[in-house]
A and B are shown apart, each in its own frame.
Chain A
Amino acid sequence: MSQTVTATRALSYLEDGKTLRSWLLTTDHKRIAILYALSITVFFFIGGSAAALIRYNLITPEGALRSAETYNRLFTMHGVIMVWFFLVPAAPVTIGNFVIPLMIGARDLAFPKINLMSWYLFMAGGACALYALFAGGVDTGWTFYAPLSSNYAQGHVVAVVAGIFISGFSTIATGLNFVVTIHRLRAPGLTWYRLPVFIWSFYATSVIFLLATPVLAITLVLLSFERIFHVGVFDPRIGGDPLLFQHMFWFYSHPAVYIMVLPGMGIVSQIIPCFSRKELFGYKFVVWCSIAIAVIGFFVWGHHMFVSGQSPYASIVFSLLSYFVAVPSAIKVFNWLGTMHKGRIHFNAPMIYALGFVGLFTSGGLTGLFLAALAADVHLHDTYFVIAHFHFIMVGGMVSAYFAALHFWWPKITGRMYPETIARGAALLMFLGFNFTFLPQYILGYLGMPRRYHSYPPEFQVLNVLSSAGASILAAAYALPLFYLTWSLFRGERAPRNPWRATGLEWTTDSPPITKNFLVTPTVTSGPYDYNDPHTKLADV
């Protein structure tokens, strides 16, 4: 890192070019992160509106939306958008894109042009999927099981699949960029064990991007072939195998669920030490647990297929491995608690969101243990219990973590402080509304209400109404940040370099950072969580 950047007057990345062109053709990782953040917010609200309609429909047993077709299209669209166009990319392409180079003392990602290309690919894929979803939609569920999707479903399966395929390339590009950057652009002195857990988590996420996404891509190619020509690999009439599709799909999609949670784990591993004013407990264990999750995560896909007709021996092995993959998550939870022990805990909004993540992720993860227990899954599979399980982790857990990160790095990203009181309120409201929405679904699932049902027997109504009521609270809670964060862009207090007195190179730059991040490449001499002096007070905010 001998290259030094000399500039007469260092412009912040926000001021460096004001035209639309300077944004759309930027190769600055910080600006691309902003582009991504805007796009992803749009997708979140589209997916959320679909969720609102789903919950509206389920208020009455016969289905308030009347048409089963509409309902089926809604949850497919909800699942597709929320998974591929919101949660899979969300934390990596926004928070990761912005923070990773800053954290490791680099001036940009390794391949800035590829980074920009990845955003365009993402938008192209998104446009493709949105076109299909609005021009008639798809009714296969986000899992696209063959032969339903290949030969029977109506709608624009191929277009949606193409959208997912294209956006898959965009995540591959991002993953590739992250891996190379983390390997090759670390500041002098920043050894592997001096990297924040955040970096390790995003590294593990990127590895999954690289290894799992191509398999999804080839699966979707084969599916499209079969869809277009009505003959193919998954077609039982010519000796193809519908289970083959499920194996290939879950080989991607199980690791993908860890794509959706590992970043969250990285985020709270930054926030909890900072607001506990204490070193992260068991650093090396947390680091290696991230890697273990990424690796073992590739061998448990069959737990989605316990009743599908796969061999019982395979099921038993997959069940055992599913329990193994849960162990590293457990270790992490205990380490976060250990970090809080004997700390000096501050309850700023990022910390409240982070604690929300820990609580709700644990709840959701523990119900994963029900599903991994073979005989229990026979009853619970494809019921609302599964819906509740993954919403606890993905919505309760990961979306909280995303908000935690947004608030934590907001001063760095925008140069403004968000309003603390209302942010705390929104965090609490989200927690409340969330539990209100999804706790009843566990009971529904146990009672046997199948998922993807447009109408249901009347005895399930009470719990469904409860869940829908909770969803409206949740919707309000999600709308809040939209307003107060926008407000803070204009009226928020100016942020200092390091409002949280946090460790980490990103806090040594200006807020917002200059285009080239660091005028002089920093040199690192200590570990990542050097909260040595427990008496340092947080800036009063």
Chain B
Amino acid sequence: MSEDVAPHTHFQYADARHQADSAIAGMWLFLATEVLFFGGLILTWIFCRHWQPEGFTAGAHETVLWIGTTNLALLLTSSFVYALGQAAIEVGRVRMLVWCCALTAGIGVVFIGLKLLEWHIDLDEHLWPAAARFKLEGGEAAGGRLFWVFYFVATALHAVHMAIGIVAVAWIALRARRGDFGAHWHTPVTVVGLYWSFVDMVWVVLYPLIYVVGRLT
């Protein structure tokens, strides 16, 4: 490899900028596939709700609103914090980035903790859709179970994404501490940031579906 090339550049790229832009484009594409993944789930959800509105409404009334809302607030904050870190690294403030990443990951862990608590409450309340003694009965039982199927699938998938995000953010923090990033080069920070905001956005869409729509009707 010739000398005048920036240290992190692979040999198929012209320069660091070329590589950074490609990596960011790659992340955007990946997020597009994620949109279709969750989009498929949400479309079927809406479709099923259309056939069983009472069951879904009854099901939604059983959700733990305060946890969902707290988690929404937490996630929005975390994205904001991460964005602060990104702004910091652009002017070369590595320590600030490390702190922001740590805080972001921390909020993520709290989110997952609350999620576990929420699942615990749900199970205690006999809201597991495959339970023999499901909480809802009568005409609402079928639609209610269906709602809770969606609830568990969606929240579990989102939690998995959160877990991956936390690991990624922690990895950014470690690399930043090692001094890998600076004002001139911080592509991974941007790429992980995109992912984190996306996971955040998914919650912003799931939140009303789970907690709000049913309560409004």
Residues of A near any B CB (own CB < 8 A) = 1-6, 101, 106-112, 114, 172, 176-177, 179-180, 183-185, 210-211, 213-215, 217-219, 221-222, 225-226, 229-233, 237-241, 244, 248, 516
Main secondary structure of the interface of B (DSSP, over half): helix
CB contact under 8 A between A229 and B44, given known A180-B25, A238-B145: no
- Are A176 and B41 closer than 8 Å at their CB atoms? no
Q: Which residue of B lies closest to A231 (CB)?
A: B130
Closest chain-A Cβ to B136's Cβ sits at a distance in Å of 11
Complex CA distance for A217 and B146, rounded to whole angstroms: 20
B14 lies within 8 A of A232 (CB): no
**A238 in contact with B142 given A111-B26, A214-B40 (CB within 8 Å):** yes
- Known: A176-B26, A215-B36, A238-B145. Contact between A112 and B10, CB under 8 A? yes
Whether A2 and B149, one on each chain, are in contact in the complex, defined by CB atoms closer than 8 angstroms, is: no
Chain B residues with CB below 8 A from A241, complex form: 47-48, 51
Q: Contacts A180-B26, A214-B36, A239-B143 given; 6 further ones with Cβ under 8 A?
A: A110-B12, A229-B130, A231-B129, A232-B149, A239-B48, A239-B52
Chain A residue contacts of B157, Cβ below 8 A: 221
CA distance A231 to B132 in the complex (A): 11
Q: How many A-B residue pairs have CB under 8 A?
A: 120
A218 and B29 contact, Cβ closer than 8 Å, known pairs A108-B10, A239-B142: no
Residues of A within 8 A of B22 (CB): 110, 180, 184-185
Interchain nearest-CB distance for B40 vs A (Å): 4
- In this complex, how many residues of chain B approach chain A with their Cβ under 8 Å: the count is 44
Roughly how many angstroms separate A241 CA and B14 CA in the complex, as a whole number?
53
| Given A110-B26, A184-B22, A214-B33; A219-B40 close (CB under 8 Å) | yes
Within 8 Å by CB of A225, from B2, B18, B48, B149, lies: B149
CB-based contact A233/B44 at 8 Å: yes
Please tell me if B153 contacts chain A, counting CB pairs below 8 Å: yes
CA distance A107 to B23 in the complex (A): 16
* CB nearest neighbor in A for B5: A3
* Contact of A233 with B48 at beta-carbon distance under 8 Å, contacts A185-B12, A238-B142 already known: yes
Determine the residue in chain A with the shortest Cβ distance to B51.
A239
Identity of the chain B residue whose Cβ is nearest the Cβ of A5 in the assembled complex: B11
- Does B180 make an interface contact (CB < 8 A)? no
Cβ–Cβ < 8 Å partners of B12 in chain A: 101, 106-110, 112, 185
Cβ 8 A contact of A2, one of B14, B29, B33, B51: B14
Contact A214 B143 (CB under 8 A): no
A-B residue pairs in contact (CB < 8 Å), sample of 24? A3-B15, A5-B1, A6-B2, A101-B12, A110-B12, A112-B10, A177-B26, A180-B22, A180-B25, A183-B25, A184-B21, A221-B157, A222-B153, A225-B152, A231-B130, A231-B149, A232-B129, A238-B141, A238-B145, A238-B146, A239-B48, A239-B55, A240-B146, A516-B11
